[in-house]
A and B are shown apart, each in its own frame.
Chain A
Amino acid sequence: MTTQPDLLYSEEEDALRAAVRDLLTDHCDPAAVLARIASDTPHDRSLWRTLAQSMGLAGLLVPESFGGQGATHREAAVVLEELGRSVAPVPYLTSAVVATEALLACGGEEAAGLLAQLASGQTVATLAVGPAARPGGAHPVVRHEQGALHGELTAVADAAVADVLLVPARDGGLYAVNTEVVTVTPKVSLDLTRPLAALTFSGAPGRRLTDDAGPAVQRALRTGAGLLASEQLGLADRCLTETVRYLKERRQFNRPVGGFQALKHRLAGLWLEIAGLRAAARNAADTLATGSEDTDLAVAVAQAYAAPVAVRAAEEALQLHGGIGMTWEHPVHLYLKRAKADSIAYGTAGGHRAAVAELADLRAP
């Protein structure tokens, strides 16, 4: 018998949300994000410094004894909702959540030192696995030979902005590698707010964090998948809110377009799906925070549900904005590209349904 998860937001979480939203309203509006992704530095380092250093949010998941805030996945999920809502081009999910969780699983002085740097926001790290790796499915391709790493990874999210790469290698170890000793080649990415880069390791020296990368990578990917649902929730909710606002203003046939029943029903249906996503995302965040025995299933359910909802929200937003939604200058394409990229990140909905089949004892034929 497991206890009921707390699916609400606490007053502190609401206050955290308000603070992050205020910051993003001032420093991450759609025009700023559009300008940013068209530049040579798609990541917003200034915004990252404010979030990570001034507000201390990079260390939410890090215990105070390691220089962090000692908060939980519930608070990190709230931050991700807001970042998703603004499609903010900052490495929060990759560094402050996924890489941080991998380090938390390692133990040892090397990992502890890195954790403190990540928590302070001065160092950005990313886990060097493909963007589609889901819990239970990562395959390291990098070799560790004679004290150095060799091999190529074709695509790693946020690698171009990382100072340190956490690299699982075929010998079973997890290595910390400074990015300057690796060839990082930015890729032209579908989602320019979370760009990918190829990595080439040609004898790069690495510090061994643990002999057994497996549990660390699993923990990192599970948390990444679970909290990604909150990012998808924030994104979907913003798409709905903006579309509803626009359809109340936009007039055709001498009436607000939002008064047509065909559109009202579509938006109401979307609202219902987002209400479901909110419950599923809170459930995943709460089970991660409490370490409930239901966590694997809660994460798989949230990810099996979230991607289709977020993609539909962005696609509906585009369609219901009409012609303006198809232009580069309108931000809806940022949401569509992030939503579609998120539907692959940390495993597809189908991959997570396969996990549900195992966890809920609904076996394949």
Chain B
Amino acid sequence: MTDSTELRTRTRELLAAHPPAATDRLDFLRARFDAGLAWVHFPEGLGGLGAPRSLQAVVDAELEAAGAPDNDPRRIGIGLGMAAPTILRFGTEEQKRRFLRPLWTGEEVWCQLFSEPGAGSDLAALGTRAVRDEGAWVVNGQKVWTSSAHAARWAILIARTDPDVPKHQGITYFLCDMTDPGVEVRPLRQITGEAEFNEVFLTDVRIPDSRRLGEIGDGWRVAQTTLMNERVSIGGMRLPREGGMIGPVAKTWRERPELRTHDLHQRLLELWVEAEVARLTGERLRQQLVAGQPGPEGSGMKLAFARLNQEISGLEVELVGEEGLLYDDWSMRRPELVDFTGREAGYRYLRAKGNSIEGGTSEVLLNIVAERVLGLPAEPRTDKDIPWKDLAR
């Protein structure tokens, strides 16, 4: 059993063998991975030590104090949060060894090819086809809302391999090389003016069978691991007080008394209290996870986060008065990082509109809470026994 003392010792050994000040950033990250200190709950040989996840904080604190470089997790969030846990759970030994190390060090950025123009909330209805051709699969279709596609080397991809069975059964999960011929990435401009996301067109892309993840036809189950981790990573971040969208508004309120009105004051206080309660709810969820008793609160955190971001940023536009009628910059850009609280009030207001759509709409999440947490009757599933090819679309 690896305990915090041993982890601290190992971390100090790593720092002694590779002093951060005198070591190339990438070399340090690779050495950290090889020492099992990347994600300590992963198995030995794959960046971890099979230790409890909660002990990662011990390693991180030691490394931060020593000024060691990190792997810039915000830039590789999809790889860390979604691809890695799925590869770990369903990947072959060869796949795990090939992909996890450069994924963690950030040498290879990952993106997610799931949503399609015709398959949003009803993701299982997706129509991108993968057809077997000797030792490979030939993929054709269109994906959408792909963040980081323009920076990504690899993608997690789900595609339809059997149209003759009901929709959940005919899907297979692949690891797709974004540099392959036939992969075309086009920016998708959104209401903020920038293009954080992309459309990805797949035309006769050949994926070797060795890059299939999980069994043929089992892709929906594999994808559940990815999606559960997505919602955790969206809603489960630990925040200090005023750490989210409320922070910039509270700051403006304090610094600019001339903007204050009684109406705005009442609304600000209500939202401040709700933001603090949401933070505490997230903290309680985190404590449950650490104690090994995950609660159902996770399903709800993203709902609260989306609504609060929208209401708070909407209030902020009103708070700044005439400045709220201006916008910092409409020019089309392709950012590699997403920062919901970055830029100015107008941007935050517009970007927050996506929070109740991306990663599961609030309406679908309310259904999930009602059915899985409260046990209320499920929505009618008229398509569950019909072959995918016979569904109306």
List A residues at the B interface (Cβ < 8 Å): 4-8, 244, 247-248, 255-256, 258-259, 261, 263-265, 267-269, 271-272, 275-280, 282-283, 301, 304-305, 353-354, 356-357, 360-365
Contacts of B273 in A (CB 8 A): 301, 304-305, 353, 356
Q: Are B287 and A365 in contact (CB under 8 A)?
A: no
* Chain A to chain B contacts (Cβ below 8 Å), 5 pairs: A247-B376, A271-B374, A278-B281, A278-B284, A360-B250
A269, B355: Cα distance in complex, Å: 17
Q: Are A365 and B261 in contact (CB under 8 A)?
A: yes
Q: Are B269 and A256 in contact (CB under 8 A)?
A: no
Q: Are B257 and A363 in contact (CB under 8 A)?
A: yes
B218 adjacent to chain A (CB < 8 Å): no
A5, B288: Cα distance in complex, Å: 13
A268: which of B260, B281, B370 is its contact (CB, 8 Å)? B370
Contacts of A279 in B (CB 8 A): 277, 280-281, 283-284
Contacts of A354 in B (CB 8 A): 269
B369: which of A272, A278, A364 is its contact (CB, 8 Å)? A272
Q: Are A272 and B300 in contact (CB under 8 A)?
A: yes
Contacts of A362 in B (CB 8 A): 250, 253-254, 265, 268-269, 272
Which partner residue on chain B sits nearest A352 by CB separation?
A: B273
Contacts of B276 in A (CB 8 A): 280, 301
A305, B369: Cα distance in complex, Å: 21
Q: Are B376 and A248 in contact (CB under 8 A)?
A: yes
A8: which of B268, B291, B366, B377 is its contact (CB, 8 Å)? B291
Known: A272-B304, A301-B273. A365 touches B284 (CB 8 A): no
A7, B284: Cα distance in complex, Å: 6
List B residues at the A interface (Cβ < 8 Å): 250, 253-254, 257, 260-262, 265-266, 268-270, 272-274, 276-278, 280-281, 283-284, 287-288, 291, 297, 300, 303-304, 363, 366-367, 369-371, 373-379
Q: Are B370 and A4 in contact (CB under 8 A)?
A: no
**3 A-B pairs with least C-beta separation:** A259-B377, A264-B370, A365-B260
Q: Are A280 and B367 in contact (CB under 8 A)?
A: no
A276: which of B268, B280, B371, B378 is its contact (CB, 8 Å)? B280
A7: which of B278, B280, B304 is its contact (CB, 8 Å)? B280
Q: A-B pairs with CB below 8 Å: how many?
A: 120
Q: Are B369 and A271 in contact (CB under 8 A)?
A: yes
A361, B291: Cα distance in complex, Å: 34
Q: Are B366 and A268 in contact (CB under 8 A)?
A: yes
Which partner residue on chain B sits nearest A241 by CB separation?
A: B374
Which partner residue on chain A sits nearest B280 by CB separation?
A: A279
Interchain nearest-CB distance for A299 vs B (Å) = 12
Interchain nearest-CB distance for B264 vs A (Å) = 8
Q: Are B277 and A265 in contact (CB under 8 A)?
A: no
A353: which of B266, B288, B376 is its contact (CB, 8 Å)? B266
Contacts of B376 in A (CB 8 A): 244, 247-248, 258-259, 263-264, 267
Q: Are A264 and B367 in contact (CB under 8 A)?
A: yes
Interchain nearest-CB distance for B279 vs A (Å) = 9
Q: Are B367 and A8 in contact (CB under 8 A)?
A: no
Q: Which interface residue of B273, B291, B300 has the most chain A CB atoms within 10 A?
A: B273
Q: Are B270 and A8 in contact (CB under 8 A)?
A: no
Interchain nearest-CB distance for A227 vs B (Å) = 16
B281: which of A5, A8, A265, A275 is its contact (CB, 8 Å)? A275
A261: which of B261, B303, B367, B374 is its contact (CB, 8 Å)? B367
Q: Are A305 and B274 in contact (CB under 8 A)?
A: yes
A364, B366: Cα distance in complex, Å: 36
Interchain nearest-CB distance for A202 vs B (Å) = 43
Interchain nearest-CB distance for B377 vs A (Å) = 3
Contacts of A280 in B (CB 8 A): 276-277, 280
